[in-house]
Amino acid sequence: MPEPAHRGDSGTESVSTPSSLPATGNPATDASLALLVELVRRGLKHIVLSPGSRSQALALVAAELERVGAVELHVRVDERVGGFLALGLAVEGGRPAAVITTSGTATANLLPAVLEAHHSNVPMIVLTADRPVQLRGIRSNQTTVQAGMYGAAVRRALDVDAPTGADDETDAYARLAAQAWSAALDDAGPVHLNLAFREPLSVAVPDLTDVAGPAALVTETTLDDETDATPPAPLGRAHLVLEPGIHTVVIAGHAAGPAAEELARTGGWPLIAEASSGSRFGPNLVVAYRELLNDAEFGGAVERAIVFGHPTLSREIPALLSRDGVEVIVVAPVGEEVYDPARSAKAVASVEVRDSDPRDREARAWVGRWVFASRALLDDRADVSADEVSPDVEAGRSHSPQQRLAFAKAEFAAVRAPVTRRMLAEALWRFTWPHDRLVLGASRLIRELDAAVPGKRISVHANRGLAGIDGTISTAIGIGLASQRPDTDAPHGTTRVLLGDLALLHDVGALLFGDGERRPTVQVVVGDDDGGTIFDSLEVATTAPPEAMRRVLTTPQQVEWPRLAEAYGWSYRRVTTRGELDQALSAPPRGTSIVHVPLTH
């Protein structure tokens, strides 16, 4: 069984001896048993598969592993949906899920999710079934060039010839599983095993109760030992000690994590934290960063920028990082790529501040100016918004019947105010708590939210590796499944998804669950502004003819939303006012639901 060259080296792996596995005499089934059982021994909890003939041995073993309680199996007819579901499971669970597909176009449908996993450093194990070498290159049905299909997007790619039933072959498949698991975790990204199978493609899988039950699978490797360890830093990146006193800002892009907030607080520096950074909290947070970066007194005075994660939500941040005279340091403990718009940044694995003193007057003045200016800008926005919808509270306490009546009318008007983008974004943020999960689609709404909401330590995710609209609901369902585990007493909460109408329609296949599968509590909130209005903020909106703009860019769609929800078995609610929105978000139904919000502006 050849093992082609691969990126990285996970070293020698010790594997559990698969000799205890029952032999069926069918090479495809025995190889699939050895491979999947070893992955489960390593810590695999979720398998996502799409049906197909060439992958039937893997699928039947997966079904038996689910029957004995070793894994949770998720069946999706659309491989693209399955890939993003696996992505969400890994984002929340911290370990890779395995994705199984048959040959041909099925493997290509995984590419969007593989690319997102690559650019977001999310572990994933992709198992694609293929024809043996003898059937390749002769126009055999459902056969294409699958080996290397995902290119540089995978951490390791192996093209594995079809098993023959030779002695010790199952040991080789167990080693293959161990290598794939380690590569996905250690290198934080997707791994591709292209597995050839010859006919006969499967036989009945024997009872695995005694072999692969949950207790039997805790043998040589425990998940905690693997995931708690700090991934090795990419070659050439070191720890950096920073000097205090320099006019510095800390920028936390997507998936930056709490380390960015800790550094900003330790150094006494302003913190610019995007909505899905995992850093949007703490005393140094600057929400109105766009305006301040454009202000010479603030952005013009920056001498050093320290970047965590992947910033994607503004033009002001790349402009700052590309400016002459600004030292740029990117903290990137995993992954080969770093965020470096000017190609001049210094990439390091980790940072700390030398002898910083939080009582230093100059440092406090620097961060204080940013924080107070940001709060003033937000207050100004709030005053304008409040004038539109909020009643005068003092009038409600008045002894004057006329004033009390005016208050009641204003209060009624506020509740019945039509929903705007800003109102929708702020409401989602307000109703999300630490036991919930919030998933933000790639639409105009994530920018509205990022520009307005205050600090709050909650779990927020968005597919910002490539910032595509595809796979948003699939990813959210994966996050919901992994966070709302039936084997824990922790509060499950709700996984809420905020996205635009086109993003929902693009991933509409995600609404379909496998028969009898667990449905987490997922509330999809779709801000319907009649197409992709994010183009309205781009230069093209001022030059393109309106009809052409509508036809090929904003592309509005006519959809019967209640019937769409009903067809997939999701509950549905239409929301048009502020009061209805608050009610829908404060009491989400159990299971899967869609909240449809037509937007005014």
Q: Where are the domains of the chain?
A: 18-227, 239-364, 390-416, 421-598
E-state strands within 551-590: 571-574
**Which pLDDT score is estimated for 416?**
84
Report, as an integer, the average pLDDT of 335-359.
88
pLDDT at residue 413 is higher than 90: no
- Of 135-144, 408-417, 449-458, 553-562, least confident by mean pLDDT is 408-417
- 133's CB contacts (< 8 A; 6+ apart) are 161, 162, 196
Straight-line distance from the first to the last Cα atom of the chain, in angstroms, rounded to the nearest whole number? 60
Query: Measuring CA to CA, how many Å separate 203 from each of 25, 61, 93, 127, 206?
Result: 9, 10, 33, 19, 9
Q: What is the DSSP string of 16-52?
A: --GGGSPP-S-HHHHHHHHHHHHHHHHT--EEEE---
Top-confidence residue, 65 or 236: 65
> What is the SS3 string spanning 456-512?
CCCEEECCCCCCCCCCHHHHHHHHHHHHCCCCCCCCCCCEEEEEEHHHHHHCHHHHC
**Which pLDDT score is estimated for 355?**
79
φ, ψ (nearest 5 deg) of residue 480: -65, -45
236 pLDDT band, cuts 50/70/90, is confident
Using alpha carbons only, what angle is made at residue 467 by residues 466 and 470, rounded to the nearest 5 degrees?
100
pLDDT at residue 313 is higher than 90: yes
Identity at 309, one-letter amino acid code:
G
495 and 459 Cβ atoms separated by less than 8 Å: no
**Which pLDDT score is estimated for 588?**
94
One fold for 18-227 and 239-364: yes
45 pLDDT band, cuts 50/70/90, is very high
193 and 125 Cβ atoms separated by less than 8 Å: yes
Element (H, E) at 581: helix 578-586
Closest CA to 251 of 285, 204, 206: 285
- Of 132-146, 179-193, 338-352, least confident by mean pLDDT is 132-146
Tokens of 468: 């595509």
- Of 349-358, 402-411, 561-570, least confident by mean pLDDT is 402-411
Query: Which CATH homologous superfamily contains domain 421-598?
Result: Thiamin diphosphate (ThDP)-binding fold, Pyr/PP domains (3.40.50.970)
Report, as an integer, the average pLDDT of 571-576.
97
Q: What is the pLDDT of residues 537-549, one digit of tens each?
A: 778 888 889 888 8
Report, as an integer, the average pLDDT of 120-133.
94
E-state strands within 303-392: 304-308, 327-331, 346-348, 350-353
**Helices first, then strands: H and E counts in the chain:** 21, 19
Mean pLDDT score of the chain, rounded to an integer?
88
248 and 304 Cβ atoms separated by less than 8 Å: yes
Q: What is the pLDDT of residues 105-115, one digit of tens each?
A: 999 999 999 99
**Which pLDDT score is estimated for 572?**
98
- Domain 239-364 listed as CATH 3.40.50.720: no
pLDDT at residue 401 is higher than 90: no
pLDDT at residue 389 is higher than 90: no
Distance CA 99, CA 82 (A): 7
Q: How many CA atoms lie within 13 A of 230 on its CB side?
A: 7
Query: Measuring CA to CA, how many Å separate 55 from each of 86, 99, 163, 221?
Result: 18, 11, 13, 27
Distance CA 149, CA 154 (A): 10
**Which pLDDT score is estimated for 223?**
40
Tokens of 262: 């800790």
| CA-based R_g, the chain, Å | 26
Tokens of 284: 């140094």
Identity at 221, one-letter amino acid code:
T
Tokens of 572: 């549905």
394 pLDDT band, cuts 50/70/90, is low
Using alpha carbons only, what angle is made at residue 121 by residues 58 and 535, rounded to the nearest 5 degrees?
105
**Which pLDDT score is estimated for 409?**
62
500 and 443 Cβ atoms separated by less than 8 Å: yes
220 pLDDT band, cuts 50/70/90, is very low
Q: What is the pLDDT of residues 164-176, one digit of tens each?
A: 999 899 999 999 9
Distance CA 595, CA 572 (A): 6
Q: Please give the CATH topology (third level) of the domain spanning 18-227.
A: Rossmann fold (3.40.50)
> What is the SS3 string spanning 48-66?
EECCCCCCHHHHHHHHHHH
Question: What pTM did the predictor assign?
Answer: 0.90
Residue count of the chain: 601
350 alpha-carbon distance from chain centroid: 23
- 587's CB contacts (< 8 A; 6+ apart) are none
Tell how strand 592-598 and strand 571-574 pair up.
parallel
pLDDT at residue 501 is higher than 80: yes
